[in-house]
Amino acid sequence: MQAVLGEMKNVARNNALLSVRIATNEQRLVEFDRELQKLSVLPSAATNEVPAFTPDLPTQPKP
């Protein structure tokens, strides 16, 4: 009976340790995913574009 209880104790301890490791790895994956999302966002292109020149047309022609 002592041997069975000892094994059950080991199983419970190992289960707790595995649960902690799984939770830690899940958190690391979430952080990794966030970093990947940051890298996959395309930065806005900085350009020197100037709006096209459009002269103001007079409302009435000059004589």
- Report, as an integer, the average pLDDT of 34-59: 73
Q: Evaluate if residue 45 carries a pLDDT over 90.
A: no
d(CA 34, CA 36): 5
Q: Which residues of 5-38 are buried (b: 16+ CB within 10 A; e: fewer)?
A: eeeeeeeeeeeeeeeeeeeeeeeeeeeeeeeeee
pLDDT tens sequence across 5-44 = 999 999 999 999 999 999 999 999 999 999 999 888 766 6
pLDDT at 10: 97
φ/ψ (deg, to 5) at 26: -65, -40
Record the pTM. Answer: 0.54
Closest CA to 9 of 27, 1, 22: 1
Which amino acid is present at 63?
P
Domain ranges of the chain: 1-41
pLDDT at 7: 97
